[in-house]
Amino acid sequence: MFDQEPRIASVAALDREHLLVLPFNAFQRAIEQSPDIAHAVMKTLAARLRHADHKLARWR
């Protein structure tokens, strides 16, 4: 998303789905042109990081 490194996630759909691929350059343009998009992405990433941190804390 923010770099051009390979993703490390996978997904499986329960139903037939249509997916949209957003190329790196298009994503970069979108977050440069719309601070709202950049803010929403950062908010989502912060929540995911917090969730992962809570899960790790339970393992300690």
| pLDDT tens-digit series, residues 7-60 | 777 888 999 999 888 898 999 999 999 999 999 999 999 999 999 999 999 887
Q: What is the pLDDT of residue 10?
A: 82
Q: What is the pLDDT of residue 20?
A: 86
Contacts of 27 (CB under 8 A, 6+ apart): 1
Placement of tokens 């790196």 in the chain: 24
Measured distance CA(51)–CA(58) in Å, rounded: 11
